[in-house]
Structure formats: C-alpha cells, structure tokens
Structure 1
Amino acid sequence: MTQHPPTGPGFGPPPPQYAPTPPPYAPQPPYAQAPQPPYVQAPPPQPAAGPDFLAVDKRNAVVVDASGVAFETSGLTVEFRWPEIRGVHYRASPDGKALMVAVVHMDGRFYECVVEARPRTRLQEWFPQLAWVLGHYRPMG
C-alpha cells in the first residue's frame, strides 16, 4: 500500500471552522410559463417599398425595384437580387433607339437586356429615372 504525503496548507477543502455557512433554504415559487402559441411559419420578409423603374417594349422589359433587377426577354424572366449584384450599367444603344442595361453578377458573369424606346424621346425620360432608382438602392460611396 502506498502512502501519500499529508496535504499541506492550501490543498483540499478548508477546515470546517473556516467554511462559509450556507444560506438558509427559502423555497422559491415555481416559474410560471406563458402558454406557447401554436407554431405558425412567418411569411418571408418583403422588401421595403421604394421607388421602382420599368422600361418595356414589345419583347423585352427591365424592372429595378427594392428586390433587385429583373430582365424579361421574349417571355423569359431572370431576376437578380441586390446581394448577388456587383454592378448595374446602362447606356443608349449605338443607334440611340434603345436602352441597354447590364447586370454584373458577384461571380463576374454579365447579363444584358435591350429595351427599344418608342418614341425615341422616351429614352431621355428613362435615363434620369433609372439613375435615381439605382442611386436609391445602390448609392455610390
């Protein structure tokens, strides 16, 4: 049988004369629990209402709103949410008859939609509207 050396001061529990006195036991009232409502799945959060931009011709459309940018081309719709958009660029077509809008995706892919402006003066109306809406959702700086 191995003997261990006796414990010296500072090791083990304090001697009984130095131990703190436990507080007297006082029964506590049980916690009341509020009734739990049945689980109802919350609807997905809707983007806050804000300005939007819409340019449409016979075949194509560009929409910019609180959720992001959407292109419709010949009946197919592609939506880009703001968190996945690196940049949005726009300009007039080389002949000045259409609005060209491009979305640069976060991974570098590039998507473009061209909307014909009829009458041609509509193009000059679209530029300030589009600039204002994009500035609202994607301020520079």
Structure 2
Amino acid sequence: MTTPPGFGPPIPTQPPYGTPPPLYMAPPAPYGSPAPGPYGAPPPGDGPEFVAHDRRSSVIVDPSGVSLEINGHTMDFPWAAVATVHHAPSPHGGAILMVAVAHPGGMLYECRIDAKRKARLHQWLAELGPVLHHYLAHRR
C-alpha cells in the first residue's frame, strides 16, 4: 500500500528566491542614548515629576514614563506605551486618588492611593494635572 500524496514527512524544498530578508528593524541606538519618544516625538528632556504613595501603592510620573506600584508589584510604562493617563478622586468619598494608565492597545491599569487627608488629596490633584499635561500635551 502506498501513501497518498500530501501525507507523510514534509518534503524539503529550497525557497524560490533564496532566504527571505530579515524583517526591518531600526538600527540600535548607541549605548546610553535616550530611546525615541512616543509616536516618533523626541523624548522629553528633564521635566517635572510627580510622586504619591501610601503604605501599599504608589504612582510616579517622570520623564521616563509612569510607574504604578500595588502591593509590591511594579508596572512601568514608558511614554511610548502610554496612550493617556486618567486621574480623579474616588467617587465614593474619602481621600483616595485614582490614577489609570491607558495602553495604546486598550488595556487600562489602575492604582489607588490613600491620601489620608482631603488636603493632601487636593494637593496631589493640583500637582498631577500639570505634570501629565507637560508629557501628554503634544499628542493632541
């Protein structure tokens, strides 16, 4: 009994035009040079920073991007991986700052920081808005 065509081990073949070229990759940046910024824009230089934390969570916004820490787990988002950042006080009252990083793919990552006092929450809200505007304003 013979094996019908299409069954059995694959038949080795040569590519018709030689080996395909590698996928295009940008040349690597020299060591120590800054990575390109979001959407092809140059990376922001020294810029403002924002830091808010409680016992379990923290948010850092600086020239490198946004970092969220929740219960010892840190998520770093360079500006190229940030579509936008939302921030607001908790709708349930209290003194909780909610910060959410929206990824270009649609994922949303949220962190809540307990300010303990409303005065500190209002201070964080007043500081965070201008810092985010500095890094995200060029995207409009």
What range describes the TM-score normalised by the shorter chain of this pair?
0.5 to 0.7
Q: Deviations over 1:67-86 (max 9, x none)?
A: 11100111110011111111
Counterpart of 1:72 in structure 2 is 69
Counterpart code for 1:68: G
* TM-score for both structures, normalised by structure 1: 0.66
Paired position in structure 2 for 1:55: 52
Offset of residue 44 of structure 1: 4.1
Name the % identity: 42
Aligned residues between the structures: 101
Q: Which residue of 2 aligns with 1:132?
A: 130
CA deviation after TM superposition for structure 1 residue 106, in Å: 0.5
Q: 1:3-56 CA deviation, whole Å, 9 max, x = no partner?
A: xxxxxxxxxxxxxxxxxxxxxxxxxxxxxxxxxxxxxx6324276221000011
Matching residue's letter, 1:78: M
**Residue 117 of structure 2 corresponds to residue 119 of structure 1:** yes
Asked if residue 45 in structure 1 is aligned to residue 45 in structure 2, the reply is: no
Q: What amino acid sits opposite 1:136 in the alignment?
A: H
Task: Note the residue ranges of structure 1 that are not aligned, 5 or more in a row.
Answer: 1-40
Q: Which amino acid aligns with 2:75?
A: V
Tell me, in whole angstroms, the C-alpha distance in 1 between the residues paired with 2:118 and 2:126: 15
- Find the residue that maps to 1:114 and give its secondary structure: strand
Which contiguous aligned blocks of 4+ residues in structure 1 show a shift greater than 4 angstroms?
A: none
| TM-score between both structures, scaled by the size of structure 2 | 0.67
User: What's the secondary structure of 1:138's corresponding residue?
Assistant: helix
The CA deviation string for residues 86-118 of structure 1, in whole angstroms up to 9 with x for no partner, is: 111011112232000001100000100000012
Q: Distance in 2 between matches of 1:101 and 1:134?
A: 11
